[in-house]
Amino acid sequence: MKYLGLALLPLMAAMTTAQAESVFDPQGQYLLGDWNGQRTALAQQGIKFEANLLTDTAYLADGGRNEGADPLTSAQLWLGTQLDIEKLAGWNGVTVRAVMSARQGQSTSIRDLQDPDAAQLANVQGTFGRGNQDSRLSELSIEKNYKDQGLSIKAGRLGLGMDFNVMACDFASTAFCAAQMGKWQGNIWMNTPVSQWGARIKQQLNPELAVQVGVYEFNPDNGNGAKEDQGWSLDTEHADGVTIPAEIVWTPKSLINNLPGSYRVGGMYNTADDPINQKDIVTGQAEDRTFAGWLAIEQQLTSTGQGRQGLHSFANFTWHDRVTNKVDHSQQLGVKYIGLLDSQPNDILGLAVNRVHVNNRFAESRPAFNADAEYNIELNYSYNATKWLMLRPNLQYVVNPGATNNVDNALLLGLTSRIIF
């Protein structure tokens, strides 16, 4: 916890400073206010801060393995700083970011929902999972933008899903939040809050089309949550090959109904060859590669003429190597209506359905996996009480949790909250 205490010092100092201004101001952007104008002044000079606390509470109302048990809560604290080095030191197009995170809590999926022999493929609480330990370094990066050439180069400690297979996170379940590759190929692809050494090059071909490629260290230690210090380790002692993602990103500004969208198609190749990390899921024989691909779509469908207000859609599809991966494909569809009420233009009503299919090669020798796929359904409403407080009640239904019918389909009630400091 020593790192967490040190990381919190700036936040506690800001709270002290903010007392003289409008703390808890319902019209303010931050719970702690503008620090007597210092926050805005620092941002203008090139120093920005970000701090938020995200919590997920889930109650198993019906089905699963232990229905009616007390609800469980998981949480993530996020503290970051972004430095515009161009403003601070005159280095054109250079930005430095540093982020630490801390996760705590318990999982309803693990304790109450899933069969112990067939873990749920998604988790009903997005803040629970890999990185669920006291604290860790989630990003330490430097990025150089060559604006005239449309070229961007980023390097440092990075999360794979920060740049590739990117997806919005307006749902509670991990099935609908952040890069899907980190869920279904999670032994290889590690999403934030886990970071790894890596670099990414992105070329903007025109205002609507970009291509990018990255190379990231693969090291199973990065995802190890057994002890706090591991989250802050920068060594490469157990590195085993690299992960290489590549992606084409098309962001038309005027497509369906003359509205904007985002279309990403990509693939990744990994070269790990230690049988502990990479092996045939049936024979156990060592393999020296794995691969996967994805298509991620976000498209606004209607507009009220007021910014983002209107109906938005999204879809995600993934494909995975059947030799080395437990999951061989997944499909996801969803819709979000932003600003259903004019008085709440940033609120979001969301509905999504996900299907994740277990590789038949994997399931055939494991009797617990007696259903071909897990299905996740979520209905939620993101209520922005203020700019700094969001509450998201949600209803989730899981069919064949863990791709098994050994436990009943599950109905869950949940509440997510986000506080921006």
For the stretch 386-414, pLDDT in tens is 999 999 999 999 999 999 999 999 999 99
Strand partners of residue 318: 294, 330
135: pLDDT strictly greater than 60: yes
Token couple for 388: 């700094």
- Percent of the chain clearing pLDDT 90 (strictly above): 85
As a whole number of angstroms, the distance between CA 304 and CA 265 comes to 29
Q: What is the pLDDT of residues 228-265, one digit of tens each?
A: 578 898 999 899 999 999 999 999 999 999 999 999 99
- Over range 338-352, report the average pLDDT: 96
* Residue 336: CA count within 13 A, CB half-sphere: 22
Give the model's confidence band at 9: pLDDT under 50 very low, under 70 low, under 90 confident, else very high: very low
As a whole number of angstroms, the distance between CA 272 and CA 285 comes to 13
The pLDDT score that the predictor gives to residue 373 is 97
Cβ proximity of 65 and 407 under 8 Å: yes
Q: Which long-range contacts (CB under 8 A, 24 or more apart) does 311-314 make?
A: 311/335, 311/336, 311/337, 312/336, 312/337, 312/338, 314/167, 314/168, 314/352
The pLDDT score that the predictor gives to residue 224 is 74
Question: What does the longest C-alpha to C-alpha distance in the chain come to?
Answer: 66
Cβ proximity of 161 and 209 under 8 Å: no
Give the model's confidence band at 306: pLDDT under 50 very low, under 70 low, under 90 confident, else very high: confident
Give the model's confidence band at 363: pLDDT under 50 very low, under 70 low, under 90 confident, else very high: very high
The pLDDT score that the predictor gives to residue 356 is 98
Which residue has 């304790």 as its token pair?
Answer: 111
> For the CA atoms of the chain, what is the radius of gyration?
22
**Number of residues assigned to the chain:** 421
Q: What is the pLDDT of residues 13-27, one digit of tens each?
A: 444 444 445 788 999
Q: What is the pLDDT of residues 98-128, one digit of tens each?
A: 999 999 999 999 999 999 999 999 999 999 9
Mean pLDDT taken over the chain:
92
Q: Which domains, ranges and CATH numbers included, belong to the chain? A: 1-45 (no CATH), 49-420 (2.40.160.180)
The pLDDT score that the predictor gives to residue 19 is 46
The pLDDT score that the predictor gives to residue 186 is 75
88: pLDDT strictly greater than 70: yes
